[in-house]
Amino acid sequence: MFCLKKGVSIFALGTLVIFFIIALNFDTPSFEAFDIKIRSLLFGNSFIILFHNLGETKFIIVATVIMLLYLAIFKKDFRGVLFVLLTVGVGNGLNQLLKRIFARPRPEIEDQLSSFSFPSGHAQISVLFFLTLAYLISKWLKNKKWKFITYGLMLVLIFLIGLSRIAEGRHYASDVLAGWSIGYTWFIVSVLWYESKKHK
């Protein structure tokens, strides 16, 4: 099972700091140069672009509903249901709020989306959904090797989904990095709440 250690919490504070550093500086020359460099490496990569489907709203909604039904009906884990709603549901609301606060336009490409760019919703929600899935699955696994494999697979998917938004030209690299960062921070906040029951 995912064990919430002191180091994990400190890392979550670190990702929160990273988010605010990017949020306050994404329009500076250094971050603009970073965005241009990463875009030049990834833009148009058809293999990476395929992974954007796993971060699409429709997929996340359907997969989350399945997860909620499984927890409620088969596991009778109603605290787990609230945990998923907190990570994925509230996390999505947080993303929409942050987009409106920072109001960063998306990269200029043909047929670009009209919504704001910062932070990347695909990056943030993929962290929240797939880490939540890995966390719950790891609770039911006894073999440490399979727990490691589960988290490893989810992290690879999260990484590729984030990169797909840069490859498509839908987001800047700094949007994606910020989405990963705030997504991880919110995930750990949610886990802190979920695991607090153990200490009562």
In a domain, 31, yes or no: yes
Residue position matching structure tokens 């996340």: 60
Cα separations in angstroms, 17 against 14, 31, 141, 184? 5, 16, 33, 12
Number of folded domains in the chain?
1
199 band by pLDDT with thresholds 50, 70 and 90: very low
Q: Tell me the C-alpha distance between 15 and 31, whole Å.
A: 17
Looking at per-residue pLDDT, the higher value among 31 and 200 belongs to 31
In a domain, 175, yes or no: yes
Q: Tell me the C-alpha distance between 75 and 69, whole Å.
A: 9
Instruction: Give residue 100's Cα distance to chain centre.
Output: 18
Q: What are the residues whose beta carbons fall under 8 Å from the beta carbon of 84, sequence distance 6 or more?
A: 64, 67, 68, 71, 132, 136
DSSP letters spanning 73-106? IIS--HHHHHHHIIIIIIHHHHHHHHHHHH-PPP
In a domain, 1, yes or no: no
Report residue 50 as tokens. 């395929």
Residue 86: is its pLDDT beyond 60? Answer: yes
Q: What is the mean pLDDT of the chain?
A: 93
pLDDT, one tens digit per residue, over 123-142 is 999 999 999 999 999 988 88
Q: What percent of the chain has pLDDT over 90?
A: 85
- C-beta separation of 82 from 174 below 8 A: no
Q: State which amino acid sits at residue 3.
A: C
In a domain, 186, yes or no: yes
Residue 84: is its pLDDT beyond 60? Answer: yes
In three-state secondary structure terms, 151 is helix
In a domain, 28, yes or no: yes
DSSP 52: G
What's the pLDDT score for residue 8?
Answer: 85
Q: Which domain holds residue 87?
A: 6-199
pLDDT, one tens digit per residue, over 4-25 is 567 788 999 999 999 999 999 9
In three-state secondary structure terms, 27 is coil
The predicted model gives 108-126 an average pLDDT of 91
In three-state secondary structure terms, 110 is coil
State the alpha helices, DSSP H only, in the chain.
Answer: 6-25, 29-42, 46-49, 57-69, 78-84, 91-102, 121-140, 144-168, 173-195
Q: Tell me the C-alpha distance between 138 and 5, whole Å.
A: 16
